[in-house]
Each structure stands twice: as C-alpha cells, then as structure tokens.
Amino acid sequence: MLLGILKSSIRLSVLLSLLLVASGFSEPVPFWRGNKKLETKLEEERAILVSVRSSDVPAGVRFSFRGVGLVKRERRDVLKLAMRFDDLKTVSDHFKEVKWEPKTNRLFVVGQALGYQARMLLQIEKVEGVTPTRDEIRFKVIDGHFLGLEGALVLETRTPASKASGERTEMSIWCLQEAKELPLPRALVGFALEVIAQRVAGKMREHLEAKPL
C-alpha cells in the first residue's frame, strides 16, 4: 500500500502540498530563546538540545518533539544537503530504509529505535526565503505510523560570534501530532527518545559540516 502511494498522481501530490501549507499546527515557541543558560550551551558547548513530550488531550494524546543545534556552515549549503534524503542511511543506522520521490516530493522512511519500527510516508515541501534569513523544509506524515504528524526543519542564519568566525546556521526541528494513541509506549516518550535524537542529530551535524556539495 505504501509503495503504491509513491506512484500516485502529481495532481494528488499538489493537493497534499496545499493541505500541508494550511497546517493545523503552528510552530511552538522555541524553548531556548531568551534562556541564557541554554543559549550558552548552544554557543559555547555546541550542545544539541532536545525536548520530547506527550500529554493527554480530548482527542487522546498529543506528541511533541523539539530540537536545535548550531551547524558551522552557510544556511544555503545546509538546505541543499538536508534535501539529499538518500544520505540519511549513511548518517545513522536508525534509518533502515529511505526512498525519495522528487517528482511527488514524497519521502518513505523506515526508522527503528528502542526495539520499535516506524514506517512512514511523508509529504515534503521546501520553502526558501520564509524571511531573508530563514528557510524551512516542511513535512507531514500522510500514511503509516504517526499518521497526521506534521512539522518543519527550520534553518536560520546565526550572527557570527566574531568577525573571524564564519557563518553558522541554527538548525531546529519541531513536530506535533494528536491521535487516539501513539505507535509506541508513552513510557518511552521522554528521556529515552531525547538521548537517541541527540545522538542522531550529532551525526547529522557532522555530515552537514563535512559533506561536499
């Protein structure tokens, strides 16, 4: 079924892209903004900050994920490399299968962590120039596990710490989902996922900083 969806019409793809733009969720306020301690960790320690939460809502459960780190590379280069989804398998063995369909902007991913496997088909939308210093890669799960989850990878130019230092990119991600239940135990939604996400993000940053265009 999932592979069949990959071959569906471009017309349906355009419709789904429009639905993605008219997102039901808005970006949460970045938890590190205005927090001097966290900002120092980002700047001086090159820390990767991650927050994974679940909470009860009328629909069932709300899942939220937020992460951020600084990449020593120009924003436009980071965007180009981040769109090379086929590289994900070389970044981390948590990605078991990755198939990117550029004609329909659809990404099929099989991910595995903590003994659980998730198969997801995502609609992708690259949005350049959200502001003069910001680009986004928006996504929404349209089939498989975490159905309805949506969010964005946000790339923002970071002011250099000094004239001698090169341009850096603040790379953050957010995603939200509301569902009757999650495809994994809620006991794992928290510290365990945060640790895994930090490790994967660390490998991704190494890849983005070293990979030639």
Which pLDDT belongs to residue 88? 96
Residue with tokens 């009328």: 58
Q: How many CB atoms lie within 10 A of CB 114?
A: 13
Is the predicted pLDDT of residue 56 greater than 90, yes or no? yes
pLDDT digits 0-9 by tens, 73-111: 999 999 999 999 999 999 999 999 999 999 999 999 999
**Distance between CA 74 and CA 212 in Å, rounded?**
12
Task: Quickly tell me which residue has 């280069």 as its tokens.
Answer: 77
pLDDT (tens digit per residue) in 34-49: 999 999 999 999 999 9
Per the document, the length of the chain is 213
Question: What is the distance between the alpha carbons of residues 14 and 6, in angstroms, rounded to a whole number?
Answer: 14
Task: Please count the other Cβ atoms lying within 10 Å of the Cβ belonging to residue 123.
Answer: 21
pLDDT of 20 strictly over 90:
no
- Looking at the domain covering 2-210, what would its CATH class be? alpha beta
Q: What is the pLDDT of residue 114?
A: 84
pLDDT of residue 165: 67
Candidates 95, 89, 79, 85; CA nearest to 154 is 79
Global pTM value: 0.85
User: What is the spatial distance between Cα 4 and Cα 8, in angstroms, rounded to a whole number?
Assistant: 7
Full strand arrangement of the beta sheet holding 134-144: 49-57, 60-71, 168-179, 150-158, 134-144, 116-131, 106-113, 95-101
Q: Where are the domains of the chain?
A: 2-210
Which DSSP symbol is given to 186? G
